[in-house]
Amino acid sequence: MDWGMQNRLGQLMPNGRCFFMPIDHGYFQGPTRCLEKPGETIKPLLPYADAIFCTRGVLRASIDPLNTKPIVLRVSGCSSVVGKDLANEELTTSIAEIIRLNAAAAGLSVFIGTDYEKESLKNLATLVNQCEDYGIPVMAVTAVGRELEKREARYLALACRIAAELGARVVKTYWCEDFDKVACGCPVPVIMAGGPKCETELEVLEFVHDGLQKGAVGINLGRNVWQSPHPVAIAKALRAIVHDHASVKQAHEIFKATKKTKPTTKA
Ligand code: 5RP
């Protein structure tokens, strides 16, 4: 692996583990709850994250270039929750812009099993061709759109493997039962997204711990962090699981202790 590629992946995954903070949701769903002002949402959470996942628009408008973390740039879009089909995405950002913004990686969604499977996989192949020339890793997101029932091992294993075969250096997918089947079939690191907010913080800690035990190398968790009434406390607890190998019990203790001491934001 070339120096630039190794260096970027090393920044994103210190010690091979990672906690990315996604604030890209607005690119298809507008001002998501608790993400109306992404710069304010992310500020107290930055110390716990290894990278931020966002679009160029939010990056320029809301992120201080002198006080930030490595950026995974979201470079697919052009569909919305009020449009016809969420899967009908295009590449939105040129390779020149990805380089100009000093992105540590570029991320895009693939929609396997939809009417736009071929187009989204072609987007991935094109982006990999462009980014590999400059040592920039591509993170593929196995998106399910509104079909949340697709979050099961057989489908996610298929989607992750296809994304890796097309050249993604990292694949982001959902946690599911039997997550080892997903991780084992994927030759590149797999990280877990959170999905809609869980009922309790304990549930979040449990699924993250389970996925890491079964082969994931990290997380890219948004709503379950910044929509929590205690975002800093959950971020700190998750970081302990990802980077310090804390048990669920230890992480929950960290969560409970931190929520008593840290200021909370309104959910
Ligand atoms: C949106 C994304 C998000 O980055 C991803 O879903 C993670 O966020 P959350 O934990 O809120 O699901 O790719 O398309």
- Beta strands, E only, the chain: 18-22, 51-54, 71-74, 76-77, 90-91, 105-110, 138-142, 170-174, 190-193, 218-220
Instruction: Please work out whether the CB of residue 193 comes within 6 Å of at least one atom of ligand 1.
Output: yes
What percentage of the chain exceeds 70 in pLDDT? Answer: 98
Residues with a known catalytic role: 172
pLDDT in tens, 199-223: 999 999 999 999 999 999 999 999 9
To test the pocket of ligand 1, the residue of 20, 21, 24, 144 to mutate (highest count of ligand atoms within 8 Å of its CB) is 24
Domain 3-187 fold is TIM Barrel (3.20.20)
Confidence (pTM) = 0.95
Instruction: State whether the beta carbon of 52 lies less than 6 angstroms from ligand 1.
Output: no
Q: Ligand 1 centroid to 71 CA: how many Å?
A: 15
Indicate the average pLDDT of the chain.
95
Q: How far is ligand 1, taken at its centre, from the CA of residue 145, in Å?
A: 11
Measured CA to CA in angstroms, residue 182 lies from 162, 166, 185, 226, 261 at distances of 12, 17, 6, 27, 38
DSSP annotation of 92: -
Closest C-alpha among 82, 75, 224, 209 to residue 136: 75
Q: Where are the domains of the chain?
A: 3-187
Whether ligand 1 lies within 6 angstroms of the CB of 219 is answered as: no
List, for residues 158-197, the tens digit of each pLDDT value. Answer: 999 999 999 999 999 999 999 999 999 999 999 999 877 7
Per residue, the 3-state secondary structure of 101-136, as one string, reads CCCCEEEEEECCCCCCHHHHHHHHHHHHHHHHCCCC
* pLDDT at 165 (0 to 100): 98
Q: Could you read off the pLDDT of 106-165 as tens digits, one per residue? A: 999 999 999 999 999 999 999 999 999 999 999 999 998 787 788 899 999 999 999 999
- Is residue 267's pLDDT more than 50? no
Q: Does any ligand 1 atom lie closer than 6 A to the CB of residue 53?
A: yes
Name residues whose C-beta falls within 8 Å of residue 248's C-beta, 6 or more positions apart in sequence: 202, 205, 206, 209, 241
Confidence of residue 88 (pLDDT cuts 50, 70, 90): very high
- Structural contact between residues 188 and 155, judged by C-beta atoms closer than 8 angstroms: no
